[in-house]
A and B are shown apart, each in its own frame.
Chain A
Amino acid sequence: RKEVEQDPGPFNVPEGATVAFNCTYSNSASQSFFWYRQDCRKEPKLLMSVYSSGNEDGRFTAQLNRASQYISLLIRDSKLSDSATYLCVVNAPDRGSTLGRLYFGRGTQLTVWP
């Protein structure tokens, strides 16, 4: 079973639409959660961290449900520039180490069309 599971999409939405991505993780000891964005042929970059209380950054809202081990990302008023792959990322203890490590989901592809 993969540590982080995401619907790979693709999601194709018109400008102005609201779109939601979901992700589940398997390790209940996971402590930190993130959404990264990866543009075509570029490196992944941090979009936002995800907190239990939920957090918002402009048009982006991230939610965490620890009981269900579920993370979500909501994008409102989609822009053409939002087209990218969105990676769900979880920090969990690494076996045999005191250091956490990041586990990446496969990513959900989003295309926003005019």
Chain B
Amino acid sequence: DTAVSQTPKYLVTQMGNDKSIKCEQNLGHDTMYWYKQDSKKFLKIMFSYNNKELIINETVPNRFSPKSPDKAHLNLHINFLELGDSAVYFCASSQPGLAGGRTDTQYFGPGTRLTVL
């Protein structure tokens, strides 16, 4: 059974289109994340939700809108796609720790490779 799943695995689209990536975790975790990994392989956090509430919102264009219908799902919708949005997008989940406390392992989905033409 897949712990964290994402769909689609590959997404090729034209500039200006709107697309969504879906993520689901069956680990019972409270916290879910979206990360972007660009061509230089640097993994950057975009958003984090804890029990359906947004807790981390990095400096991301407002064309990116996360939605968490329940704590097992965190979807990412992207409007007006640009060339620079091409990257691999990873969803992840974990059980949160308090600041200064130990955080449980973060489990990643297989990634969605987005190519904007």
Chain A positions near chain B (C-beta within 8 angstroms): 29, 31-32, 34, 42-46, 85, 87, 91-94, 97-102, 104, 106-107
Partner pick for B96 among A46, A92, A99, A104, CB 8 A cutoff: A99
- Bound-state CA distance A9–B103 (Å) is 28
CB-CB under 8 A from B12, the residues of chain A are none
Residue pair A100, B98 in contact (C-beta under 8 Å): yes
CB-CB under 8 A from A104, the residues of chain B are 42-44
Sample of 15 A–B contacts (CB below 8 Å): A31-B101, A32-B102, A46-B106, A91-B97, A91-B102, A93-B100, A94-B56, A94-B99, A97-B99, A99-B31, A100-B96, A100-B101, A101-B45, A104-B42, A107-B43
Chain B positions near chain A (C-beta within 8 angstroms): 31, 40-45, 48, 50, 55-56, 90, 96-103, 105-106, 108-111
Interface of A is mostly: strand
Residue pair B40, A99 in contact (C-beta under 8 Å): no
With both beta carbons as reference points, the residue of chain B lying nearest to A106 in the complex is identified as B42
Across the A-B interface, give the 10 residue pairs with the lowest CB-CB distance, nearest first.
Answer: A93-B99, A43-B108, A104-B43, A91-B103, A46-B105, A99-B96, A31-B100, A32-B102, A100-B99, A106-B42
Q: Shortest CB–CB separation between residue A37 and chain B, in angstroms?
A: 11
- Bound-state CA distance A104–B45 (Å) is 9
- Bound-state CA distance A107–B43 (Å) is 9
Q: Are A99 and B106 also in contact (CB < 8 A) when A31-B100, A93-B100 are?
A: no
Residue pair A42, B110 in contact (C-beta under 8 Å): yes
Residue pair B100, A100 in contact (C-beta under 8 Å): yes
Residue pair A102, B106 in contact (C-beta under 8 Å): yes
Residue pair A44, B43 in contact (C-beta under 8 Å): yes
With both beta carbons as reference points, the residue of chain B lying nearest to A46 in the complex is identified as B105
CB-CB under 8 A from B96, the residues of chain A are 99-100
CB-CB under 8 A from A106, the residues of chain B are 40-42
